[in-house]
Amino acid sequence: MHNDIEKTLITEEEIAAKCEELGQQLTKEYEERFPLAVGVLKGALPFMSDVLRHIHTYLEMDFMDVSSYDGGTRSSGEVKIVKDLDTKVEGRDLLIIEDIIDSGLTLSYLVDLFKYRKANSIKIVTLLDKPLGRTSHIKADMVGFEVPNEFVVGYGLDYQERYRNLPYIGVLKPEIYGGDEA
């Protein structure tokens, strides 16, 4: 598995330090409130798990599974709900947790949905931001790291469901995904 990685982009230690830093900011942000932390499955799982342990205030957790990619590298251009929230959104302060914003399609869909459901506030925290991939106007409130327009995997991010369990973020060797597409 590690042999498929061309280079490490962000180490395990850098990720851990960033989770602590973001958690401290989020603790201040949500002090005296009871936010609903929404993890976007499956990619956000490791980041959500690590960052939440640095948020020292009451919070509720829920999960949404939406999918815009067909397992490959190219967006199908459609977002579908695979699993919806169990929690009522109306009046809640939402913290959406993502692993990466690429085209922005997933998050713009979710933000519209949660506005329609009358959330009191919506904030987005993403570990990675790939601004060069953007096709829709969406900006995270908090970003861990900006990444170049390369095929990144690990720490939740997959290629054909593999590599999510890598403890670091790496760039996949082009021969693995067979092309120069990012």
Active-site positions read: 102
String of contacts with Mn ion for each residue 19-58, x by CB under 5 A: ------------------------x---------------
User: Starting from the edge strand earliest in sequence, which strands make up the sheet with 5-10, in order?
Assistant: 5-10, 169-172, 152-153
102 sits near ligand PRP (criterion: CB under 6 A): yes
Instruction: Find all residues with CB under 8 Å of 3, minimum gap 6, and list them.
Output: none
String of contacts with Mg ion for each residue 28-67, x by CB under 5 A: ----------------------------------------
> Are 73 and 181 spatial neighbours (Cβ–Cβ below 8 Å)?
yes
> Are 4 and 163 spatial neighbours (Cβ–Cβ below 8 Å)?
yes
Q: Taking every pair of C-alpha atoms in the chain, what is the biggest distance, in angstroms?
A: 50
Site for ligand PRP in 18-57 (CB under 6 A): 40-43
The two three-digit tokens of residue 21, written as one number: 């830093």
Block residue for tokens 């809640």: 92
Site size for ligand PRP (CB under 6 A) = 18
Site for ligand PRP in 137-166 (CB under 6 A): 158
Please give the residue ranges that form the binding site for ligand PRP (CB under 6 A).
Answer: 40-43, 67-69, 75, 98-106, 158
